[in-house]
Structure 1
């Protein structure tokens, strides 16, 4: 499976909004800068495996669920 930054970004944004997190609050929770998180959610950057795993934990989902439509 090829990693798609746009799909990951879309899923992160959707799940973040569903849980009521601001970008700043979620960035702090997973140990990222706000700017870094904004770039990740905009699909400009790929997450490290550590950050992707932290997001999956916060969202209570499997990592592959963040990478697929």
Structure 2
């Protein structure tokens, strides 16, 4: 799942450690999310969206080929 957590964090002038502390997760978790090596839980995705004052869909792109059926 692609995301723009790194870009938003850097724009806010935060280190990975700063963001991790604010979210109550490890720096390694933030690093893994930014490198697309870990998909956060729904709870953590909501925390990130709240922290960056945006919608989850603005942070994460599931990069799915799925389309809903047409009626």
Q: Same fold (TM over 0.5)?
A: yes
Structure with higher helix content: 1
Q: Does 1:52 find its partner at 2:52? A: no
Q: Which aligned segments of 4 or more residues in structure 1 are displaced greater than 6 angstroms? A: none
TM-score, normalised to structure 2's length?
Answer: 0.79
Within a 5 Å distance, the mapping from 1:26-45 to structure 2 comes to 26-45=19-38
Whose RCO is larger (CA < 8 A, sep 6+)?
A: 1
Larger Rg: 2
TM-score, normalised to structure 1's length?
Answer: 0.81
Structure with higher strand content: 2
Q: Where in structure 2 are there 5+ consecutive unaligned residues?
A: 62-71
Q: Does 1:65 find its partner at 2:58? A: yes
Q: Where in structure 1 are there 5+ consecutive unaligned residues?
A: none
